[in-house]
Chains A and B, each alone.
Chain A
């Protein structure tokens, strides 16, 4: 698989899964636009690590929850590069609360960043992919289909993301744009440490048949595959990367 000469934008790629995806795509030859919102130092470190792989990196700050900032980001990409081959919709946020404590503000914050951003970014991405085709991959989570404690808003936003992935896949197919998603179970990242603190996720190694937790590189490997020509016939799918956790739920329930 080679992505030489391709240009990829990875939202939220200063840290965690986004960073691993950015580095994986870079290792296959793609130039990378590193988007971040809250952690400039991490984003600049990711860019340095990308450049060390012999490809180009560009850092752009934008809150993808804000339509005006999305426009600014794509105006900048359009002016500077005039094209995009790969768009990875990874940036995510969320408020961990029980259903009864969810208010409009928390709902909108999470939905805007996790779900609406895919719609608004895809609308801009398509213009940059016009006539050349491309790949759009979003990062989802098992919380879209399974109930996790205090995960309601994020789970719902990820379900919307997966549904939107299906609609985009069909509507953008005539433009040679492949659209898919990858849903992971709990991944060992800084964000997970936050959820550990919030009591959302306990050590889930014992419920993972594969025997270890999912790491960012596990997700990045599948994303890179979905960005390759080998995955051309996969459209509108959400590929689960969870070490068997979801299909093993009933088997594990008795343990």
Chain B
């Protein structure tokens, strides 16, 4: 599974929306993710990928794609280390 697919599964499980509606352009509001859902998604993603996502970075995510891109970059960085 790609990073994107894994994060999509995590968010769909938390917000209980059909994952087919979650595209890279989807805003958190469109995915029906409130602030608690977002924190829970961050925690689940951090545990899945073994990274920490500072809140300051998470606050910059405008949509699902931003979240995925950030994690993709971090995962690549971790692999290089």
Q: Please give the residue numbers on chain A whose beta carbons come within 8 Å of chain B beta carbons, in ascending order.
A: 38-41, 61, 63, 95, 105-106, 109
Given contacts A61-B52, A105-B40, A106-B36, 15 further A-B contacts (CB under 8 A): A38-B39, A38-B54, A38-B55, A39-B54, A39-B55, A40-B52, A40-B54, A41-B54, A63-B43, A95-B35, A95-B36, A105-B36, A105-B37, A109-B36, A109-B40
Q: How many A-B pairs with Cβ below 8 Å?
A: 18
CB-CB under 8 A from A39, the residues of chain B are 54-55
Which range contains the number of B residues in contact with the other chain? Answer: under 10
CB-CB under 8 A from B52, the residues of chain A are 40, 61
- Segment 36-75 of B: residues with Cβ below 8 Å from A: 36-37, 39-40, 43, 52, 54-55
Sample 18 A-B pairs with CB under 8 A, ordered by A number: A38-B39, A38-B54, A38-B55, A39-B54, A39-B55, A40-B52, A40-B54, A41-B54, A61-B52, A63-B43, A95-B35, A95-B36, A105-B36, A105-B37, A105-B40, A106-B36, A109-B36, A109-B40
CB-CB under 8 A from B54, the residues of chain A are 38-41
A-B pairs, top 7 by smallest CB distance, nearest first, are A38-B55, A95-B36, A106-B36, A109-B36, A40-B52, A39-B55, A63-B43
Q: Please give the residue numbers on chain B whose beta carbons come within 8 Å of chain A beta carbons, in ascending order.
A: 35-37, 39-40, 43, 52, 54-55
How far does the Cβ of A19 sit from chain B's closest Cβ, in whole Å?
A: 16
How far does the Cβ of A206 sit from chain B's closest Cβ, in whole Å?
A: 30
* Chain B CB within 10 A, most for which of A38, A63, A105: A38
CB-CB under 8 A from A105, the residues of chain B are 36-37, 40
How far does the Cβ of B15 sit from chain A's closest Cβ, in whole Å?
A: 10
Instruction: Give the docked Cα–Cα distance between A232 and B40 (Å).
Output: 40
